Amino acid sequence: MATAMHAAKARLDVAASNLANVSTAGFRRSIARAALRGAGLVTTSVPDVAPGPLRRTGRSFDLAVAGEGAFFVRDRTGRAVAERSASFERDRRGRLVDESGRALLGERGPVVAGADATIDARGVVTVAGYDVATIVVRPGTTLQSGFLEGANVDAVHEMVEVLEAQRAFETAQKTLSAIDDERQKDVDDVGRVKQ
Amino acid sequence: MNRALYAAATGMAAQQQNLDVVADNLANADVIGFKNAQATFAPIGGNALLGTVETGVRPIFQQGKLEKSGGPFDVAIDGAGFFEIERAGEHAYTRAGAFARAADGTLRNADGWSLRGIVIPAGARSVSVASDGRVSVALDGLGARAAGRIQLAAFDAPERLRPLGSAIFGATHGSGRPREIAAGGDRQPKIQFGTLEKSNVSVIESMMAILAAQRAYEADSKCVQAADEMLRIVNNLHRS
């Protein structure tokens, strides 16, 4: 029963963290998973990879993918990483880099663009009517410039989680108390000699 | 419970900061050249279920609506870039172009910042600004005369500019040094005379953001209550 209380507590931890990040762009909620193992319930959290809603920012270098697909950024080790939403800024050399310094990949290496560049749905980067680069995307990807993917947290769902965790905790506590009472009885009554 | 308690508390703090930024946007919705700001957040420690933290507030330099105005020296930028302004040797950058002629001939805004490189001679009857930023004045009996050219400044990362006032920004290490750009060219921003750039704040979007922030704050506070309730139960487990 003590592990059931731990499990309920873990569920609340996960829901609280998800709710706290409801305004964090690109946040992926965690799901609490409880499993019965040996000594009792063990809870782990796994990320939920479902896409979040697109939120308008109005910044032309905020990129998000509408529906299925991805674009690619190059991290410091030179590896291309698929992304679905990122906020890019121009660095000293005019390359578009995200908040962790990863460069947006175009068909001819990192995308270099002027401050007033625009990006269309197919990933073509345009400066004053001239195409300057094309962003590498998975086939069939529709890009949305001026949008970021919001957290995939549903407040209603998380609130239900909070309530359920609270009730589960209470149930476990009541059961624990009942077991405790029974033991108390055993200790007090068993072996007592009736007169 | 403690982890949930602290995670929910970080969420409440984040929504509070979010609300501050949105309220500031709304308060400045009618300020010429004001740029909508946005608070950004990140999960603490990747996502270690520890809550959220604010990572900064960034202005969004999306073009505001250009509107005809009545001022004699009103200018606006159609495109990217900033007006360079100076006050007591300090340089700053703005897109608010409401200026008035001061006694020494410089064009100053309401806060006393003067537009760099422009001096309007005494006795000027009318002023006009071409789309390339060239200022010409008509003097009594002398005809038209050039009075300087408005230079625009551009930055590599304008989001990293530091706000110095509601619509005035200063350069930082992150924003990079200002680059001078000439207005009026084929692929360049243009200067509009007799026009002002309104703020790019959307009142409707701001109201929606306020509602969302309030509800998120409430949800976080419910988590705090739930965690508190669990702690109470734990404390009552031991009955003497």
The shortest C-alpha distance from A105 to chain B (Å) reads 19
* B121 vs B37 pLDDT, higher one: B37
Q: What pLDDT sits at residue A128?
A: 78
Collect all residues of chain B within an 8 Å Cβ-Cβ radius of residue A27: 43, 47
* pLDDT tens, position by position, B164-194: 988 999 999 888 889 888 888 777 889 999 9
Give the count of alpha carbons within 13 A of B182, CB side only: 7
State the Cα–Cα distance between residues A69 and B174, nearest whole angstrom: 32
Give the count of alpha carbons within 13 A of B133, CB side only: 26
Residue from A81, A85, A63, A61 nearest A73 by CA: A81
A91/B157 Cβ within 8 A: yes
**Angle (CA) B213 B214 B218, round 5°:** 115
State the Cα–Cα distance between residues A158 and A164, nearest whole angstrom: 10
Nearest to A155 among B176, B187, B216 (CB): B216
Tokens 């949305």 found at: A144
Q: How is residue A96 written in tokens?
A: 């578009």
Q: Is the pLDDT of residue B240 over 60?
A: no
Number of Cβ within 10 Å of residue A41's Cβ equals 18
A184 in contact with chain B, both atoms CB, cutoff 8 A? no
**Angle (CA) B173 B174 B176, round 5°:** 70
Number of A–B residue contacts, CB under 8 Å:
142
State the Cα–Cα distance between residues A52 and A153, nearest whole angstrom: 7
**Given pLDDT bands bounded at 50, 70 and 90, which one contains residue B235?**
confident
ipTM of the complex: 0.80
The shortest C-alpha distance from B153 to chain A (Å) reads 12
Q: Estimate to the nearest angstrom the gap between the alpha carbon of B77 and the chain centroid.
A: 15
Residue from A57, A62, A50, A147 nearest A99 by CA: A62
B213 by Cβ neighbours in 10 Å (0-12 / 13-18 / 19+) ranks as: buried
CB within 8 Å of B166: residues ≥ 6 apart: B28, B31, B34
State the Cα–Cα distance between residues A116 and B134, nearest whole angstrom: 23
* pLDDT tens, position by position, B116-127: 988 888 878 888
Q: What pLDDT sits at residue A42?
A: 86
* pLDDT tens, position by position, B41-65: 999 987 788 999 998 898 999 899 9
Percentage of chain B modeled with pLDDT above 90:
62
Q: What pLDDT sits at residue B45?
A: 82
Instruction: Note the helical H segments in chain A.
Output: 2-20, 155-189
Residue from B150, B158, B148 nearest B183 by CA: B150
Q: What pLDDT sits at residue B239?
A: 67
What is the Cα gyration radius of chain B?
A: 25
By the 8 A CB rule, do B165 and B111 touch? Answer: yes
In this structure, the strands spanning B134-139 and B143-149 are antiparallel
DSSP run (H or E) holding B145: strand B143-149
Q: How is residue B172 written in tokens?
A: 């930082």
**Given pLDDT bands bounded at 50, 70 and 90, which one contains residue B22?**
very high
In this structure, the strands spanning A109-110 and B52-59 are unpaired
A56/B156 Cβ within 8 A: no
B89 by Cβ neighbours in 10 Å (0-12 / 13-18 / 19+) ranks as: exposed
A94 in contact with chain B, both atoms CB, cutoff 8 A? yes
State the Cα–Cα distance between residues B61 and B53, nearest whole angstrom: 24
Residue from A32, A31, A50 nearest A41 by CA: A32
Q: What pLDDT sits at residue B1?
A: 61
A43 in contact with chain B, both atoms CB, cutoff 8 A? no
The shortest C-alpha distance from B130 to chain A (Å) reads 20
Q: Estimate to the nearest angstrom the gap between the alpha carbon of B85 and the chain centroid.
A: 16
Cα–Cα distances (Å) from A148 to A71, A84, A169, in that order, read 13, 9, 37
**Angle (CA) A138 A139 A141, round 5°:** 70
Q: Which residue type sits at A189?
A: D
pLDDT in tens, chain A (195 residues): 788 888 999 999 999 999 999 999 889 999 998 888 887 888 888 999 888 999 888 888 999 999 889 999 998 898 999 999 999 988 878 899 988 889 999 999 999 988 778 899 999 999 878 889 999 999 999 999 999 999 999 989 999 999 999 999 999 999 999 999 999 888 888 767 666
Tokens 């939920």 found at: A48
Q: What pLDDT sits at residue A73?
A: 94
State the Cα–Cα distance between residues B192 and B63, nearest whole angstrom: 13
State the Cα–Cα distance between residues B12 and B55, nearest whole angstrom: 15
Q: What pLDDT sits at residue A41?
A: 83
